[in-house]
Structure 1
Amino acid sequence: MNDRKKILVTAFALFSLFFGAGNLILPPKLGFQSGELWLWVALGFCLSAVFVPILGILAHAKLQGTIFDFGKKVSPTFSLIYSFIIYVISISLPSPRTASVTHEMAIQPFFDSPSWVTSIVYFALVFVFVMNRSKILNVIGKLLTPGIILILLAIIGVAFFNFKFEFMTLTYENPFTNGILEGYQTFDAIGAVVVGGVIIVSINLQYKEDSYAEKKALIQKAGWLAGLGLFLIYAGLIVTGALFRNEFGELTTRTELLRSISLETLGSIGNLFLSALVSLACFTTAVGIVTGAADFVKSRFNGSQNAYLVTAIIGAVLGVVMGQLNVGDIIMVAFPFLMLVYPLTIVLIVLNALPEKFTSPKVFKAVVVTTLIFSLPDFLSSIPFLEIPEKTFQWIPLAKFQMGWVLPALVVFVLMNLIGKRKA
């Protein structure tokens, strides 16, 4: 396989592993809510759902290991706990969410079958793909992703060419930060450390003879290409949602809006195309998550295939059980955890992507501890049953935007590097 084809197949696989349930249902609703402020929302959303995840892929290109390598400069114990939490969250929340979205949007409109039947069939197929992990890169990169992209382009293209660019003026406070926080719900930063590991293992299986430098260049180029694709699709879906505000008025759910847009753009066949799109997008992400978890556990048990098998079974069973919740419930349960884990993941991604001279173990430890401390207020404030007065944490810069960890982490990073230079 020539280099260009390698890059394209890997980029398609990356795009598809990232583009799952949240990536499909969140952007249109964001645009729908933002109206003429869609650009600010799109920039915020793409910062947390495109730029940071692609930085994660670039970090993987440098490390060429597993998720464990992201935190080992803090300490092996921290890295192991962090990796465990990430995989538990991944197979318990975003993976089952893909089955919930598939049932609500691809099965329920056509068949009067219970959600548990959908989940069992869905995760049985996921299990089959996971157990044939050596073929994942080719199957997803060559076959499934082109279908996803073509249907998305059809929906966005029809909206762009058939509707006037007239947007409603809406009251939408903090569109940029709202976009960033909504980007958390895609799980893409977490996805970067999970599916990036899947890509590393797949490349090592498929291109065994390539050198470290060749693999690094391949992953970097594929990462930027996948990032460009994600940016264009997200921006297109956000604009499409904004354009349809005049058409639909107030709609209550994200899935209802996406279904209405597909019918309006693709006509009576819209439901069929949307069902195919949802099924493909969700399925590839679930495969990536369960495969990533199984790969990691296998690596911690000296390459044991039994450990891989058991983890794959647990991932599939959890997917069936948690998949019985509806999409809104899963998003609600996930949000507090994201407010704590997401900032930590972003910091680990950025630190690993930066040059080594700026990221000594001492810098890692100081920045990570600072991030954890200043993420706690956002975590506590996002728990529904905790009634914390609004002004309690307002003394922290950017706290009102639920990003109180950003400046403290940045300040500590700069100070630790200045101290390090003086001692040198």
Structure 2
Amino acid sequence: MHKSSTKDMANPLEFRVSFQHFKDPMFKSKDTLVTAFALFSLFFGAGNLLFPPLLGFKSGNMWWLVTLGFCLSAVLIPIFGILAHAKLQGTIFDFGKKVSPTFSLIFSILIYAISISIPSPRTASFTHEIAIQPFFDSPYILTSVVYFVLVFIFVMNRSKILNILGKILTPAIILILFAIIGLTIFDFEFNFGVTEFPSPFAHGILEGYQTFDAIGAVVVGGVIIVSVNLSNKEKSFDEKKAIIKTAGWLAGLALLIIYTGLIFTGAVMHNQFDTAITRSALLTGISTLTLGSTANIFLSVLVSLACFTTAVGIVAGTADFIKHLFKGSEKVYTLTAILGCVLGVVMGQFNVGYIIAVAVPALMFIYPITIVLILLNIVPNKYASTFVFRSVVIATALFSIPDFLSSIGSPLAVEGGILEWIPLQKFGMGWVLPAVLLFIIANLLPQPKTTRE
């Protein structure tokens, strides 16, 4: 039987930090490094490998501008999410509670629903493309069924095996990636093509949405905070906050280096592969080209295991959340786990490109709201009253609808449509200016008594 506590959840996204070996004064300086590695593991999943290489491959001589956009949404915003957790010392509910408890509940449910419907199945599809398809002529559906049967078994029988695996997989994958990046820098000519993106910076930002890292920061960043608090009880609030803050920036720097290196690698190899190559095939091709076929097989195995631990964590985390809503019902936990795995099979039978395309409309709506909640929770309280929260979130939600409509090809959003007048809407960021303006206006207006802090 599984345990009802989240303590032993096998999930690299809910990587628990253990400071038990560092309580001796001589090891205090290592607290920050241990926390930094935990945060890096929180954000860097196998799915994150899919996006940077192809971004670089298509970005040409504008690879640096694409990198800036991608790292803004896939590195900076998620790290801000951790800083917000350090300030709140709470859970996903606390991010939206200033808007209203009802909003916070709906937001949380949407986040978990998206998680089990898109990133979880994507791990199965990615595993098929990188580890099964190159060697066996079997259909996606077979991989998906076997994959999620195993996911269900692990979700129902929680084991520390996956946590241990997670601690080994991340460093191993990082070493291989550094080898790929290093060999590219020294062995390939810096020859860049012409970018395929009309707006490289904006495209990089929107591609960063697909990492789901801002959502990851909001959902499970609190695990890091709890671990730091439990392991540093003798430290003051400011000392613990300093540990988290410094660790956050260190983890962000590591992500920045790896993402930049992978985008650069893709850009340098723009003439090595067919222009219609898929994300998975490009990653496999780059690995083979730099390290050889043997190392590529090793990378495929590592990435597949990392995908699996991520899927287990997402399904188990969602089941725990729903179980909590139903007063700890084990039956609800089991039913949610079954539903999560069935959804995984249904979506996991499609290729990665299709799943990414399906994710776009949902992300165009929920990601801007997640971003503004993170930013509002890190600004000083005097600038983030309940009135400000409500004003900015409502504006963001309303102006994300046109971006959502555009992503599904609505007639209202096509060229010449009535939504074209919204600034930045053609870049998929029509919510930005309204959110900024409402933040300023709401702070200038007299605060309603019922919303004052």
TM-score normalised by structure 2 residue count: 0.85
> Paired residue for 1:398?
424
Whether 1:26 aligns to 2:51 is: yes
Q: Deviations over 1:135-189 (max 9, x none)?
A: 4895266322111211211221211111122212345321111111111122222
Greater mean deviation of Cα atoms: 17-26 or 181-190: 17-26
**1:147 to 1:198, Cα distance in 2 relative to 1, 3 A:** same
CA contact (8 A) 2:78 2:217 kept: yes
The one-letter amino acid of 1:353's match is I
Whether 1:87 aligns to 2:112 is: yes
Question: Structure 2: how far apart are the matches of 1:389 and 1:243?
Answer: 34
Whether 1:330 aligns to 2:359 is: no
Whether 1:195 aligns to 2:220 is: yes
Whether 1:231 aligns to 2:219 is: no
**1:79 to 1:140, Cα distance in 2 relative to 1, 3 A:** farther
CA contact (8 A) 1:136 1:202 kept: no
- The DSSP-based 3-state class of the residue aligned with 2:445 is helix
| Structure 1 residue 122, shift from structure 2 partner | 3.2
> Paired residue for 1:97?
122
> Paired residue for 1:363?
388
Q: Deviations over 1:9-30 (max 9, x none)?
A: 4433332332235411111111
The one-letter amino acid of 2:200's match is P
Q: Deviations over 1:330-369 (max 9, x none)?
A: 1111111111111111111111122212111110000000
**1:180 to 1:136, Cα distance in 2 relative to 1, 3 A:** farther
Pairwise CA RMSD of aligned residues? 2.8
Question: Structure 2: how far apart are the matches of 1:152 and 1:187?
Answer: 21
The one-letter amino acid of 1:71's match is G
Question: Structure 1: how far apart are the matches of 2:75 and 2:425?
Answer: 23
Q: Deviations over 1:114-153 (max 9, x none)?
A: 4344334433554465557684895266322111211211
Matches within 5 A, 1:20-419: 20-127=45-152, 130=155, 135=160, 139=164, 142-170=167-195, 172-200=197-225, 207=231, 213=237, 216-303=241-328, 307-384=332-409, 386=411, 388-391=413-416, 392-419=418-445
The answer for unaligned runs of 5 or more in structure 1 is none
- The DSSP-based 3-state class of the residue aligned with 1:53 is helix
Q: Deviations over 1:348-396 (max 9, x none)?
A: 1111122212111110000000001111111111114657432322211
Identity %: 66
| Structure 1 residue 195, shift from structure 2 partner | 3.0
Greater mean deviation of Cα atoms: 399-408 or 165-174: 165-174
CA contact (8 A) 2:169 2:302 kept: no
Question: Structure 2: how far apart are the matches of 1:81 and 1:422?
Answer: 25
CA contact (8 A) 1:15 1:226 kept: yes
- The DSSP-based 3-state class of the residue aligned with 2:191 is coil
TM-score normalised by structure 1 residue count: 0.90
Question: Structure 2: how far apart are the matches of 1:57 and 1:220?
Answer: 8
- The DSSP-based 3-state class of the residue aligned with 1:335 is helix
**1:47 to 1:232, Cα distance in 2 relative to 1, 3 A:** same
The answer for unaligned runs of 5 or more in structure 2 is 1-20, 23-27
- The DSSP-based 3-state class of the residue aligned with 1:397 is coil
- The DSSP-based 3-state class of the residue aligned with 1:247 is coil
